[in-house]
């Protein structure tokens, strides 16, 4: 446990909480969290997750713009459902991306957990894209991914980060309920 990890946990928690509440401030807070976790993951050789943070940075900028355009007249971010065909395509892309990243990192790096890290990173990108597109189902994918992340971070001895991801599961459940309610309204 390091000061960097503790700070990254606190910033990440705030960012996810703001996302669940559909607040635009989530985007700059999440961008800072990405930078902090990029450094942390580089330090512990979780390279897929390190690269994931850089990709999240780009996705956060996209999400910030998409949410700004996706507001109603009162300034509330409008959420929507995910068509089944789009869900299937996203999950397929996540699986293919995970296989490609896992193959590369298992052969060309000293990654600690190349296949698990790659799959989690790839499906996290899908979940982030769905979040940027304001799709309620993003929270369900986040729940699944975060459950596995908790185990991986416990294994790597990143206890505060494992705790963060456990809390993120709870936040994702809250986000899912809030977004579903908002979609029905």
pLDDT digits (tens, 9 = 90+) for 109-159: 888 899 999 999 899 999 999 999 999 999 999 999 999 999 999 998 989
Q: At what angle do helices 47-69 and 26-43 cross, to 10 degrees?
A: 170
Per the structure, the count of domains in the chain is: 1
Domain that holds residue 102: 3-72+81-184
Residue-wise pLDDT tens digits, 66-97: 999 988 888 888 999 999 999 999 999 999 99
On whether the pTM is more than 0.85, the answer is yes
């Amino acid at each position: 446990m390091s000061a960097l990890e503790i700070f990254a946990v606190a910033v990440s928690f705030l960012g996810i909480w703001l996302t669940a509440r559909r607040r635009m401030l989530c985007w700059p807070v999440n961008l800072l969290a990405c930078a902090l976790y990029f450094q942390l993951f580089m330090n512990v050789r979780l390279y897929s997750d390190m690269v994931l943070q850089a990709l999240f940075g780009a996705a956060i900028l996209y999400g910030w713009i998409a949410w700004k355009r996706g507001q109603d007249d009162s300034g509330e971010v409008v959420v929507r459902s995910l068509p089944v065909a789009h869900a299937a395509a996203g999950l397929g892309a996540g699986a293919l991306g995970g296989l490609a990243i896992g193959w590369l990192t298992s052969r060309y790096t000293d990654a600690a957990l190349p296949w698990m890290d790659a799959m989690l990173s790839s499906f996290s990108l899908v979940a982030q894209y769905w979040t940027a597109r304001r799709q309620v189902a993003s929270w369900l994918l986040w729940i699944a991914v975060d459950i596995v992340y908790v185990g991986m971070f416990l294994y790597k001895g990143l206890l505060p980060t494992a705790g963060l991801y456990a809390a993120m599961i709870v936040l994702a459940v809250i986000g899912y309920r809030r977004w579903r309610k908002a979609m029905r309204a």
